[in-house]
Amino acid sequence: TIQDNNDMPNIMMKRVHATLRRFVFNQRGVAAIEFALIFPAMALMYFGMLDLTYFISVNRKVTAASSVIADLVTTNKDKVTAASVEDYFYAGYQMVRPSPETALNVDLYNFEADTTKPAGAKLRWSKFNRAAASCGDEPSAANVKDLMTKGNDLLVARVCFTYTPMFGSFMGKKLLGNTAITLTKNIYERPRLSDKLVLE
């Protein structure tokens, strides 16, 4: 009995050693653990690439929309009607579809030479696709005067688009806060068929 009691610690150590050995060399569940560790990083990369690709696409569409609107307005001779400008706004919206129309804002500013100031410029007219300007402050006349020639108007077409990343929507605003990004493009063009362009 005394000898058996002396062997008990050895027997217990052998059992613990055998259990630990089985645990260390057990392959079951390794794939699940690896998946649990890798999945968050893979999901972040996947949604991040989706957002990046869509962001680049929207940025190109906004540039195209501003260019198309400026081209349509400046192809009018001497004057452009408010109804035509509304049609041009709609053409710009078609450039960014299927994105929502409410995310697109267009501000048009037409400058004329200021005869009271040497090489100066002043606003002749402005037109917006919303009730008021939505893409920031009015362009500075000091910035556009260098782009004008004597007696030649200058049109500034400013398009801004509110882009909301898909990953930001997936994660939720509580985690990421305000994830909306505003893309703004300015196109400067002179009237093509006349020196001046009046809005009627």
Mean pLDDT by 10 residues, the chain (200 residues): 60 77 69 80 82 88 94 94 95 89 92 78 92 89 82 92 74 62 92 92
pLDDT given for residue 68 in this prediction: 95
CB 120 within 8 A of CB 167: no
Of 107, 106, 142, residue with least CA distance to 125? 107
Structure tokens at 158: 């400013």
Structure tokens at 67: 């260019």
pLDDT given for residue 1 in this prediction: 46
Alpha-carbon span 173 to 123, nearest angstrom: 40
Structure tokens at 65: 């929309």
Angle between helical axes of 30-74 and 82-96 (0-180°, round to 10): 160
Alpha-carbon span 182 to 189, nearest angstrom: 23
pLDDT given for residue 190 in this prediction: 92
Of 132, 73, 68, 140, residue with least CA distance to 105? 132
Alpha-carbon span 88 to 187, nearest angstrom: 14
pLDDT given for residue 143 in this prediction: 83
pLDDT given for residue 54 in this prediction: 86
Other Cβ atoms within 10 Å of 81 Cβ, number: 11
The pTM for the full model equals 0.74
pLDDT given for residue 55 in this prediction: 87
Three-state DSSP class for residue 184: strand
Burial class, 54, CB count within 10 angstroms (exposed 0-12 / middle 13-18 / buried 19+): middle
Alpha-carbon span 125 to 109, nearest angstrom: 6
Alpha-carbon span 188 to 147, nearest angstrom: 8
